[in-house]
A and B are shown apart, each in its own frame.
Chain A
Amino acid sequence: MSEIREQQRLTKDERDRRVLELCEQVSEIERRLIPTGLHVFGRAADAGERADLLRMVASFDRPETGARALPQLIEEGLNVNASAPSHDGARLSEKSLQAREQVEATTREAIRRFLAGGSEAACAWLETTARVPVAESRRVFSLLEKIEEQLRDNRELDAFARALRGEYIEPGPGADIVQNPSILPTGRNTHAVNPYGVPSDLAFARAERLVKLLLERHRTEHGRYPSAMALVLWGLDNIKTQGEGVAQALWLLGVRPLRDGMNRVTDVEAIPLELLGRPRIDVVMTVSGIFRDLFGATMGLLDRAVQCVAALDEPPESNYVRRNIRARMEAEACPFAEAALRVFSNAAGNYGTNVNFMVMDSQWEADDTLADLFVTRKCFAYGRDSEGRALEGREARAALNGALARVEATYQNIDSFEIGITDVDHYFEYLGGVSKAVEKQTDSRPAIYLSDALSRDAKVRSVEETIRLETRTKTLNPKWYEGMLKHGFRGVAEIESHVANTFGWSATADAVDDWVYTEVAETFVLDEQMLERLRELNPHSARSLVARLLEAEGRGFWQAEADMIERLRDIFTGLEDRIEGVA
Chain B
Amino acid sequence: MKASLKITALYVGSSLLAPLKQAERDIERTYAAGLRIAAYNFGAPLDEAQWREIERELGESQVVFVIHVTDGENAGRLIPLLEKYRASHRAVIVINCMPELMRLTRMGRLQFGRDTAAAAQGTVEGGREAEDESEGGAGEGMARRLAGRVGAWMGEQARARRRGRKKKKKSSHTQYLRYIERLPALLRVVPNAGRLRDAKNYLSIFCYFLQPTPANIRAMLLVALKHYAADRRFERIELPPPESMPAVAVYHPDAPALFESFESYRSWYERRAGKTGKMRLDSEKTVGLLLMRPQIVSGAHAHYDALIRAVEAEGLATVPAISTFMDNREACEMFFVEKTQATGRKGKGRARLKRTESGTVEQTDDSQAGRRSRVSQIVSLTGFSFVGGPAMNDSEAAVEFLRELNVPFRSAVSLDVQTIEAWRDSWTGLNPVQAGMQIAIPEIDGATEPFVYGGMSQASASPLPLEERCRRIARRLAKWNRLQTAPRAELKLALVAFCFPPNKGNVGTAADLDVFPSLWEMLVRLRSEGYHVEVPSGADELRERLLGGNADSFGATTNIAHRMTVEEYRRLCPFAPEIEAEWGTAPGAINSFGGTLLIQGLQLGNVFVGVQPTFGYEGDPMKMLMARSGAPHHGFAAFYAFIEKVFRADSVVHVGTHGALEFMPGKQVGLSESCWPDRLVGELPNLYIYSVNNPSEGSIARRRSYAELISYLTPPVEDAGVYRELAALKELLLAYRQTTDEREREQLFQTIDEHAASLHLVAGGG
**Chain A neighbourhood of B713, CB < 8 A:** 39, 45, 151, 154, 156, 184, 186
CB of A472 closer than 8 Å to a CB of B: yes
| Contact between chains at A25 and B761 (CB < 8 Å) | yes
| Contact between chains at B47 and A186 (CB < 8 Å) | no
**Chain B neighbourhood of A34, CB < 8 A:** 717-720
| Contact between chains at B687 and A160 (CB < 8 Å) | yes
Q: A519 → chain B, closest Cβ, in Å?
A: 9
The 8 Å CB contact of B760, one of A33, A151, A468, is A468
CB of A276 closer than 8 Å to a CB of B: no
Can you identify 20 A-B contacts, CB atoms within 8 angstroms?
Answer: A15-B746, A18-B763, A23-B733, A39-B715, A40-B513, A42-B521, A45-B715, A167-B355, A191-B443, A191-B702, A192-B699, A260-B71, A266-B73, A357-B615, A358-B624, A363-B624, A379-B627, A388-B48, A465-B766, A513-B760
The 8 Å CB contact of A350, one of B627, B696, B717, is B627
The 8 Å CB contact of A160, one of B76, B689, B718, B720, is B689
| Contact between chains at A418 and B693 (CB < 8 Å) | yes
A193 to B437, CA, bound (A): 11
A151 to B714, CA, bound (A): 11
The 8 Å CB contact of A39, one of B403, B514, B540, B669, is B514
**Chain A neighbourhood of B651, CB < 8 A:** 164
Q: B99 → chain A, closest Cβ, in Å?
A: 5
| Contact between chains at B720 and A239 (CB < 8 Å) | no
Q: A171-B444, A262-B391 are in contact. Are A195 and B694 (CB under 8 A)?
A: no
| Contact between chains at A389 and B695 (CB < 8 Å) | no
| Contact between chains at A392 and B428 (CB < 8 Å) | yes
**Chain A neighbourhood of B244, CB < 8 A:** none
**Chain B neighbourhood of A395, CB < 8 A:** 627
CB of A41 closer than 8 Å to a CB of B: yes
**Chain A neighbourhood of B51, CB < 8 A:** 388
The 8 Å CB contact of B717, one of A33, A239, A294, is A33
A472 to B766, CA, bound (A): 10
Q: Produce 1/0 per residue, A33-55, CB < 8 A to B.
A: 11111111111011001111100
The 8 Å CB contact of A163, one of B70, B504, B708, B757, is B708
For chain A, residues 301 to 322, give those with C-beta under 8 angstroms from any C-beta of chain B: none
| Contact between chains at A194 and B624 (CB < 8 Å) | no
**Chain B neighbourhood of A357, CB < 8 A:** 615, 617-618, 624
CB of A120 closer than 8 Å to a CB of B: no
Q: A287 → chain B, closest Cβ, in Å?
A: 12
Q: Produce 1/0 per residue, A177-188, CB < 8 A to B.
A: 100000110111
A33 to B717, CA, bound (A): 6
| Contact between chains at A261 and B75 (CB < 8 Å) | yes
For chain A, residues 322 to 341, give those with C-beta under 8 angstroms from any C-beta of chain B: none
The 8 Å CB contact of B700, one of A293, A478, A513, is A293
Complex: chain B residue closest to A188, CB-CB: B711
| Contact between chains at B446 and A169 (CB < 8 Å) | yes
For chain A, residues 460 to 515, give those with C-beta under 8 angstroms from any C-beta of chain B: 461-462, 464-465, 468-469, 472-474, 477-480, 483, 487-490, 492-493, 496, 513, 515
| Contact between chains at A4 and B757 (CB < 8 Å) | yes
CB of A264 closer than 8 Å to a CB of B: yes
A234 to B693, CA, bound (A): 14
CB of A445 closer than 8 Å to a CB of B: no
Q: A49-B718, A477-B723 are in contact. Are A261 and B72 (CB under 8 A)?
A: yes
A483 to B51, CA, bound (A): 62
CB of A1 closer than 8 Å to a CB of B: yes
A33 to B693, CA, bound (A): 15
| Contact between chains at A1 and B757 (CB < 8 Å) | yes
Among B448, B668, B746, B757, the one with the most A-chain Cβ atoms within 10 Å of its Cβ is B668
CB of A272 closer than 8 Å to a CB of B: no
Complex: chain A residue closest to B750, CB-CB: A8
| Contact between chains at A351 and B663 (CB < 8 Å) | yes
| Contact between chains at B711 and A187 (CB < 8 Å) | yes
A-B contact count (CB 8 A): 484
8 cross-chain pairs, A with B, having the tightest CB-CB distances, nearest first: A174-B695, A260-B72, A540-B505, A296-B432, A235-B696, A465-B766, A348-B427, A261-B98
**Chain A neighbourhood of B736, CB < 8 A:** 19
A376 to B626, CA, bound (A): 7
Contacts A174-B692, A351-B700, A372-B625 aside, 8 further interface pairs with beta carbons under 8 A come to A22-B733, A31-B720, A191-B699, A262-B98, A357-B624, A358-B621, A395-B627, A419-B694
For chain B, residues 43 to 77, give those with C-beta under 8 angstroms from any C-beta of chain A: 45-49, 51, 70-73, 75-76
For chain A, residues 148 to 181, give those with C-beta under 8 angstroms from any C-beta of chain B: 151, 154, 156-157, 159-161, 163-177
Size bracket, chain A contacts: 35 or more
Q: B335 → chain A, closest Cβ, in Å?
A: 18
**Chain A neighbourhood of B765, CB < 8 A:** 25, 87, 461-462, 465
**Chain A neighbourhood of B730, CB < 8 A:** 26, 30
Q: Produce 1/0 per residue, B659-673, CB < 8 A to A.
A: 000010111110000
Q: B493 → chain A, closest Cβ, in Å?
A: 7
Q: B114 → chain A, closest Cβ, in Å?
A: 18
A265 to B629, CA, bound (A): 33
A480 to B689, CA, bound (A): 24
CB of B726 closer than 8 Å to a CB of A: yes
A357 to B660, CA, bound (A): 13
Q: A39-B713, A389-B47 are in contact. Are A419 and B76 (CB under 8 A)?
A: no
Q: B172 → chain A, closest Cβ, in Å?
A: 13
CB of B709 closer than 8 Å to a CB of A: yes
**Chain A neighbourhood of B480, CB < 8 A:** 166
CB of A559 closer than 8 Å to a CB of B: no
Q: B640 → chain A, closest Cβ, in Å?
A: 19
A540 to B548, CA, bound (A): 13
The 8 Å CB contact of A479, one of B505, B699, B721, is B721
Complex: chain B residue closest to A150, CB-CB: B713
A12 to B741, CA, bound (A): 12
A420 to B512, CA, bound (A): 12
CB of A3 closer than 8 Å to a CB of B: yes
A171 to B448, CA, bound (A): 10
| Contact between chains at B440 and A192 (CB < 8 Å) | yes
CB of A361 closer than 8 Å to a CB of B: yes
A477 to B722, CA, bound (A): 8
**Chain B neighbourhood of A170, CB < 8 A:** 399, 402-403, 446
**Chain A neighbourhood of B716, CB < 8 A:** 35-37, 45-46, 49-50, 53
Among A18, A379, A388, the one with the most B-chain Cβ atoms within 10 Å of its Cβ is A388
Q: A21-B763, A194-B436, A349-B666 are in contact. Are A26 and B696 (CB under 8 A)?
A: no
The stretch that binds A, out of B7-15, B405-413, B464-472, B580-588, is B405-413
The stretch that binds A, out of B155-163, B452-460, B566-574, is B155-163
Q: A40-B514, A164-B493 are in contact. Are A472 and B525 (CB under 8 A)?
A: no
CB of B578 closer than 8 Å to a CB of A: no
Complex: chain A residue closest to B746, CB-CB: A15
| Contact between chains at B483 and A166 (CB < 8 Å) | yes
Q: A347 → chain B, closest Cβ, in Å?
A: 5
Q: B548 → chain A, closest Cβ, in Å?
A: 13
A372 to B627, CA, bound (A): 11
The 8 Å CB contact of B719, one of A31, A191, A465, is A31
A29 to B726, CA, bound (A): 9
| Contact between chains at A30 and B513 (CB < 8 Å) | no
CB of A94 closer than 8 Å to a CB of B: yes
Q: A19-B749, A33-B720 are in contact. Are A172 and B711 (CB under 8 A)?
A: yes
| Contact between chains at B737 and A297 (CB < 8 Å) | no
| Contact between chains at A22 and B718 (CB < 8 Å) | no
| Contact between chains at B665 and A349 (CB < 8 Å) | yes
The 8 Å CB contact of B726, one of A7, A26, A238, is A26
| Contact between chains at A163 and B687 (CB < 8 Å) | yes
Q: A164-B651, A267-B72 are in contact. Are A174 and B718 (CB under 8 A)?
A: no
Q: B84 → chain A, closest Cβ, in Å?
A: 19
CB of A393 closer than 8 Å to a CB of B: yes
| Contact between chains at A183 and B668 (CB < 8 Å) | no
**Chain A neighbourhood of B766, CB < 8 A:** 25, 461-462, 464-465, 468-469
| Contact between chains at B73 and A267 (CB < 8 Å) | yes
For chain B, residues 206 to 246, give those with C-beta under 8 angstroms from any C-beta of chain A: none
